[in-house]
Amino acid sequence: MSRAYFLAGTDTEVGKTLIAAALLRAAAAQGLRALGMKPVAAGGAEDVDALVAAGNVAAPREIVNPYLLREPLSPHLAARHDGVAVDLERIARCFNELRGRADFLVVEGAGGFRVPLSDTQDGADLAARLGLPVVLVVGLRLGCLNHALLTTEAVRARGLRLAGWVANQVDARMACVAENVDTLQARLAAPLLGFVPHQAKPDAARVAGLLKLPD
């Protein structure tokens, strides 16, 4: 049976795409058919390109990325400006088709876990609709402890399992990095899949070697 995960972040710009691509590369290196999905991308296709490059399974672009929105805004606003509505059922149909093609599938969310996707639904609703365990990317910077703990509460409030988390140092000058990671290990009650030190030029291929695949 294929393994699929919803990859969420504690905020925007915490390295979700980097970690998603690295997990795909790690899975491919183990001989798995690895495939990434970005249901909603706002402001450009760079994230989608990175996931496609990291996987080793071909799939139609419109299934990998059902909604490509023009402006780098919260998805519900970007969709409104484009005159479209993000439909979770359409995303679920695309997901089901992709799942049949892969052994290891990563669905990367947009922004933080509860970022609005429409006037009534958000990223948490999407994760719950797909029913996937969550991998959380914690962007290590000031405030990350609160963001990580609140996001974990939101994940569990939807009845979803936190399959693991990745500590990604996005602030090169952050103080007490090791102590912050230790604090999260004591409180998140989920496995740490890897620590990624700050990188001036993030490289998914190199990060892949720092990560463990979730169970």
Closest CA to 10 of 134, 149, 126: 149
Query: What SS3 class is residue 89?
Result: helix
Q: Which of 16, 38, 201, 212 is catalytic?
A: 38
115/197 Cα distance (integer angstroms): 26
Closest CA to 5 of 98, 88, 76, 89: 98
Closest CA to 115 of 105, 126, 101: 126
Tokens at 78, concatenated? 């970007």
- To which H or E segment does residue 179 belong? helix 177-187
- To which H or E segment does residue 92 belong? helix 88-99
Q: Is 212 a catalytic residue?
A: no
Annotated catalytic residues are 38
